[in-house]
Amino acid sequence: MNTSLQQPERTSEKKSERTTLDGSHMLLESLRRESVEVVFGYPGGAMLNVYDALYDGGISHILSRHEQGSIHAAEGYARVTGKPGVVLATSGPGATNLVTGLADAMMDSLPLVVFTAQVATTVIGSDAFQEASVVGITMPITKHNYQVRDVEQLPRTIKEAFHIATHGRPGPVLIDLPKDISAAEGKFDYDKPVQLRGYQPTTVPHRLQIRKLSNAIRQAQRPVILAGAGVLHAKASEELLQFAEFYGIPVVNTLLGLGAFPGGHSLWLGMGGMHGTYAANTALYEADLLINIGARFDDRLTGNLEHFAPQATVAHVDIDPSEIGKNVPTQIPIVGDAKESLSMLMEESVQIGDISVWRTKLQNLQEAYPFWYVEDGTGLKPQRVVELVHDISNGNGVVVTDVGQHQMWAAQFHPFRDPHKWVTSGGLGTMGFGLPAAVGAQIGLPNEPVFALLGDGGFQMTMQELSVLVDHNLPVKVVILNNAALGMVRQWQQLFYKERYSHSLIPKQPDFSKLAEAYGIPAFVVDSEEDAAAALQQSMKIGGPVLIDCRIAPMENVYPMIAPGKGLHEMVGVKP
């Protein structure tokens, strides 16, 4: 893999020694001070000063083929590394093309620092060429945003942006940079500490609240842990494992929390929610103590709130106090970092009652009602393809998905053992996310196998990013589960709209293998399990990217599921 650019000799070190820099060199020097190694972006007129400074080298740049590709790649990078992803885009349409990615990162709590160029300060508000009020547009979908009007404020602004993006609940921060500010010179000072009186996240929870939860654990007969992505953001997987094992409490993961607790562990019940396991949803429904650690009670997890955990005392551990009690009434609120909270809970080490009957019941349900599919001779089963991807990497690969049926099959049939190996768009549900996010994941983890499991619909939204795989020889294995349809839409039309398939079937698909070959990427077309297995084996012997077009059974549905408006206890399709 090659992520380095062939550029002239680096001159930026000389510039960094000066006390006076122009705005563009201030930006790059600030990124170096933040240990940024790679940025994702797309140049344009108002951003040319920054790209000219970038030409001096020192920081790798990944050129996407659309700004949406840049920001989803930065999300994939942030998701697998925990480091902030950095994005550059020009003004107007360049900036507005980032909007979906900003909303996606906001929903999934991913740390990004995004720089958008702006027209010169002298013409802001005049409808100048490629002007858009990106600060106004992005205010509701960023953790914070800035527009810089004084070049000497730029270093402080960048330092604050990295602080806000990575402290407390992670999220995207945008800096809008007018072109004349990027050219203006001023004093560079990056040494002042960040002091934000209005932003002091609580990381250490209150001891009394920890003791309340400990007492609740001591008295519980049917406790369950719900582990969300907050565990991953806090790097608290080891603490969660110790906590669950110490008390013997079963664990349910959210979709984004997969990998926070080792899949296959005897206490693991799998994913909860709309397409979760019967055991997980039974645990959430029948629990008398629900310990939510770093999950936001998304509606696809809870189902009908009237029937969600109706008998449970709810404890919610979250670094963002605004999440606690937002969707589900909470009796034990704990504001704090998941790692700190779990460590303090372990210090209490109360004596728990005998919950073996509860644990055994759930384990029996887990064994009796696993995820299933029927080999009925109707074609290549998508679930089997997911299993083959798991097997080919021995469960050690990074799996990146788009959104739709394939996303749910990947979540169901790939038991994630380790943290940060699962990259998906959970909150916003963004089609077109998968391929560029796989680019970022492979940049972030260059020595690990990365599989982009995509649907044919989402792939066609950002398939131009295949070029980036070729540019940098990224060994991403692109596996398209091709059912010639917008599968999840079609499934809902089948089940809830009397099979009226309004604009969800796409029978005349392009030949994805020829498309890949046009980019110089080896490709396979498979329609049987044997051919899919052989293609995956062959792909692993190829050092660069590979595309495998899997022609799957077109009418395959995702089961089990909870229909809209139903509760967790009303799953359908639990058994074939």
Asked if residue 92 lies in contact with residue 123, where contact means CB atoms within 8 angstroms, the answer is no
Q: How far apart are CA 496 and CA 77, in angstroms?
A: 38
**Torsion of the alpha carbons at 377, 573, 504 and 433, rounded to the nearest 10:** -100
* H or E element at residue 453: strand 450-455
Q: What average pLDDT does range 468-478 have in this prediction?
A: 98
Residue 4 has pLDDT above 90, yes or no: no
Query: How many whole angstroms separate alpha carbon 178 and alpha carbon 157?
Result: 14
| Catalytic residue from among 67, 239, 323, 556 | 67
Distance CA 66, CA 432 (A): 11
Predicted pLDDT at 57: 83
- Bridge-based pairing of strands 20-22 and 185-187 is antiparallel
User: Sign of dihedral through CA atoms 212, 213, 217, 223?
Assistant: positive
pLDDT at 550 over 60: yes
Q: What is the mean pLDDT of residues 215-227?
A: 98
C-alpha triplet 15, 21, 22: angle, nearest 5° = 120
What contacts 24+ positions apart, CB below 8 Å, involve 139-144? 141/99, 141/102, 141/103, 141/106, 141/172, 142/102, 142/106, 142/114, 142/171, 142/172, 142/173, 142/174, 143/106, 143/169, 143/171, 143/172, 143/173, 144/173, 144/174
Residue 340 annotated in active site: no
pLDDT tens across 110-161, in order? Answer: 999 999 999 999 999 999 999 999 999 999 999 999 999 999 999 999 999 9
pLDDT in tens, 394-403: 999 999 999 9
Count of alpha carbons within 13 angstroms of residue 481, beta-carbon side: 34
Which among 179, 339, 381, 421 is annotated as catalytic? 179
Q: What percent of the chain has pLDDT over 90?
A: 94
* Nearest alpha-carbon partner for 30 in 212, 267, 192: 192
What is the model's pLDDT at position 58?
Answer: 87
For 533-537, which contacts have Cβ atoms below 8 Å and span 24 or more sequence positions?
533/388, 536/388, 536/389, 536/392, 536/477, 536/479, 537/392
Q: Which residues fall within 8 angstroms of residue 195, CB to CB, at 6 or more apart?
A: none
pLDDT in tens, 403-451: 999 999 999 999 999 999 999 999 999 999 999 999 999 999 999 999 9
pLDDT at res. 307: 95
* The residue count for the chain: 576
Nearest-10 crossing angle of helices 237-247, 338-348: 30
The conformation of residue 10, written as its DSSP 8-state character, comes to: P
User: Which backbone phi and psi does 146 adopt, to 5 degrees?
Assistant: -135, 155
Q: Which of 26, 107, 408, 488 is catalytic?
A: 488
**Catalytic residue, candidates 129, 246, 311, 496:** 129
Q: Is 244 helix (H, G, I), strand (E, B) or coil?
A: helix
pLDDT confidence bin for 8, thresholds 50/70/90:
very low
pLDDT in tens, 237-290: 999 999 999 999 999 999 999 999 999 999 999 999 999 999 999 999 999 999
- Given CA atoms 127, 129, 135, 140 in this order, what sign does their dihedral have? positive
Q: Which helix (H) or strand (E) holds 199?
A: none
Residue 15 above 50 pLDDT? no
Active site residue 13: no
Pairing of the two strands 268-271 and 332-335: unpaired
Distance CA 205, CA 198 (A): 19
Per-residue confidence (pLDDT) for residue 484, from 0 to 100: 96
pLDDT of residue 9: 41
List, in sequence order, every beta strand (DSSP E) within 43-131.
Answer: 60-63, 85-89, 112-118
Q: What is the pLDDT of residues 503-548, one digit of tens each?
A: 999 999 999 999 999 999 999 999 999 999 999 999 999 999 999 9
40 in catalytic set: no
Which DSSP helix (H) or strand (E) runs through 124? none
State the pLDDT confidence band at 382, using cuts at 50, 70 and 90.
Answer: very high
Residue found by looking up tokens 């080891």 in the block: 238
Of 130, 153, 242, 363, which is the active-site residue? 130
Burial class (CB in 10 A: 0-12, 13-18, 19+), 394: exposed
How many other β-carbons are positioned within 10 Å of the β-carbon of residue 200? Answer: 9
What is the structure's pLDDT at 520? 98
Place of tokens 């073996």: 356
Among 330, 210, 308, 200, which Cα is nearest to 252's?
308
Average pLDDT taken over every residue of the chain = 95
Is 179 marked active-site? yes
* 11: pLDDT strictly greater than 90: no
| Burial category of 403 from C-beta neighbours within 10 Å (exposed 0-12, middle 13-18, buried 19 and up) | buried
460 is annotated as an active-site residue: no
Whether the Cβ atoms of residue 425 and residue 108 lie closer than 8 Å to each other: yes
| Mean local confidence (pLDDT), 291-305 | 97
- The secondary structure of 551-566 as a DSSP string is EB-TT----SB--TT-
